[in-house]
Amino acid sequence: MNSLEHPYNSLSPDTVMDAVEARGFLCDYRLYPLNSYENRVYQVGIEDEAPLIAKFYRPNRWNIEQIQAEHNALRALRASGVAVSAPIEIEGKTLFQHNEFFYAISYKLMGESPEAGNLDHLYQIGELIGEIHHTSKDWSISERPYTPIISRIKKASQYILSTSFLPKALHNEYVKTIDDLILKATQTINDHKQSNVRFIHGDFHRSNIILNDGVMTALDFDDCRMGYAVQDLWMHLTDPDEKHAQLSELIEGYENFCSFDTRELSLIDPLIAERNILYTAWIAERWHDPAFPKLFPHFTAQQYWEQHLNDLQQIRNSWGNWH
């Protein structure tokens, strides 16, 4: 697709405000794009009221049933008293369509992200994740099924190899490194039962948490799906030298609500490899979106790919250090 033909090019400020006003709100023409790459998210000013957040889903990423499953999960968590940001229900609906875009509206939350590595914050984050997992312990979201880690690694790496982004000089070493990671990941994952898969946030880094007056609220369940519990914990481990202290706080907070199988800690290595590879494939897949060349101007430089390969090799060489 030519970047000029990308569907988000038709998402003008007037389109955003028309969509919000179609739900009964009166916009005051103050519109601010927020930091979201996958979707388009805006703070929309409302006359004589607090601003709202309007999220426009990327066309052709999720189908209606998958988006609605996310909304249903959020509404159920919120109804159970879990601190999550849920879409506003209007006339019995949370998902709306305007032109070719599906969108949702939510209330704006004030606050800031937790501090990376702050042990008190990690304890609270563990509590929040534990409460989410406890509330959803019996859920099975068929619209967002578990996809094996190996399958995700293979699909993403094969996509990277099918593009022209990876320099030819690095091709053979990249293939070898991916094969090494797949072998290590397969050996690790074979020790785990898929029956332990459960509902997870799926992308629970600290930017998806708002801290306000001591209360943490979980945001952006766009990647929610079935997976392993440790997936929602490991991204808060920011310093390998402090991993034991950080894990201790996360798990202690988590277990106030939900027991944690520490055997899952061995999955952190495959999950780190998966996220690294998927992130690079994601940029490549979205390159036709005109926002991405602006956001990642270094992506086409050989230095980016040398660093990416080096990161993968470091993951391979340090395998097992997280547990």
CB contact at 8 A, 245 and 216: no
How many Å apart are CA 36 and CA 118, to the nearest integer?
Answer: 25
DSSP of 143-184, one letter per residue? TS----HHHHHHHHHHHHHHSS-S-GGGHHHHHHHHHHHHHH
Q: Any binding-site annotation on 220?
A: yes
The predicted structure's pLDDT at residue 193? 72
pTM of the predicted model as reported, rounded to 2 decimal places? 0.93
The number of CA neighbours under 13 Å toward the Cβ of 230 is 20
CB neighbours of 40 closer than 8 A, spacing ≥ 6? 8, 11, 33, 55, 56, 58
Give the chain's end-to-end CA distance (angstroms, integer).
Answer: 44
Which two tokens mark 221?
């369940």
Q: Is 217 exposed, middle or buried (0-12, 13-18, 19+ CB in 10 A)?
A: middle
Q: Is the pLDDT of residue 4 over 60?
A: no
Using the predicted structure, report yes or no on whether residue 66 has a pLDDT greater than 90.
yes
The whole-number average pLDDT for the span 289-307 is 95
pLDDT in tens, 67-105: 999 999 999 999 999 999 999 999 999 999 999 999 999
SS3 24: coil
CATH 2.70.180.20 matches 3-107: no
The DSSP symbol for 112 reads: B
Instruction: Mention the CATH class of domain 119-317.
Output: alpha beta
Q: Is 191 within any annotated ligand binding site?
A: no
**pLDDT tens, position by position, 262-285:** 999 999 999 999 999 999 999 999
Q: Which residues are catalytic?
A: 203, 220
Q: Distance of CA 257 to CAs 86, 129, 131, Å?
A: 21, 9, 5
- CA 248 to CA 302: how far, in whole Å? 39
Exposure pattern of 275-303 as b/e (b: 16+ CB <10 Å)?
Answer: bbbbebbbbbebbebeebeeebeebeeee
Residue 2 has a pLDDT of: 47
Q: How far apart are CA 316 and CA 36, in angstroms?
A: 30
Domain ranges of the chain: 3-107, 119-317
Q: Given a cut of 60, is residue 1 above it in pLDDT?
A: no
Q: How far is the C-alpha of 55 from the C-alpha of 184, rounded, in Å? A: 39
Higher pLDDT, 194 or 172: 172
Q: What are the pLDDT digits (tens) for 214-233?
A: 999 999 999 999 999 999 99
